[in-house]
A and B are shown apart, each in its own frame.
Chain A
């Protein structure tokens, strides 16, 4: 069953603006991961944040994790047209082999 939930389901912003997506989950975790999927392509791993970490950066990406609220956010700064994609969060729950996936946030960057 899908226990991860991304919010919002869809987001449309102007190029150059920041985009924030949220993920909530239900079980305790060891780590939480964010992935990007361009239309018709495979998923690409962006960031993995462990349960003992609160914030992690990678280029224009910033991920936060609040285990007390069972939530995470992905911030993309200075968005570009190439950031147009669907973004998924996944948590390991009881097993690193059976990640729990959300349904994704569809991000559209308008030029």
Chain B
């Protein structure tokens, strides 16, 4: 099925550990996004990539890095995980002026 695939679905990290969240889309969309969602809050944008070869900070970029590996793939890296980064992470993709397609999310717990 066409869509956005995120891996892993669940992850538990110890404070200070690093990890990379993977995201791939097969809809040939130019733009890709990483969001976090915390209880009772809407989505907050971490980073986005308007097109292949570009990345930009969103609302909450501190503690994260991203790589737009090619048009299909956009990864999110936590270099030194902190408990404040416990959240559900969503990757999404879109074309300009259209709705976003979201992945199913990664539930990350940092202990």
Contact = CB atoms under 8 A, between A and B. Distances in A.
Nearest to A30: B97
Contact of A44 (B40, B94, B102): B102
A96 interface: yes
25 contacts: A2-B42, A33-B99, A35-B99, A35-B100, A35-B102, A40-B105, A41-B104, A42-B104, A43-B92, A43-B102, A44-B102, A45-B99, A45-B102, A48-B98, A88-B42, A88-B43, A96-B96, A97-B31, A97-B50, A98-B45, A98-B58, A101-B42, A103-B40, A103-B41, A103-B42
B62 to A, nearest CB: 15
Contacts of A96: 94, 96-97
B52 to A, nearest CB: 14
A97 B100 contact: no
Contact of B105 (A4, A41, A90, A101): A41
A52 to B, nearest CB: 13
Interface residues of B, number: 27
Contacts of B105: 40-42
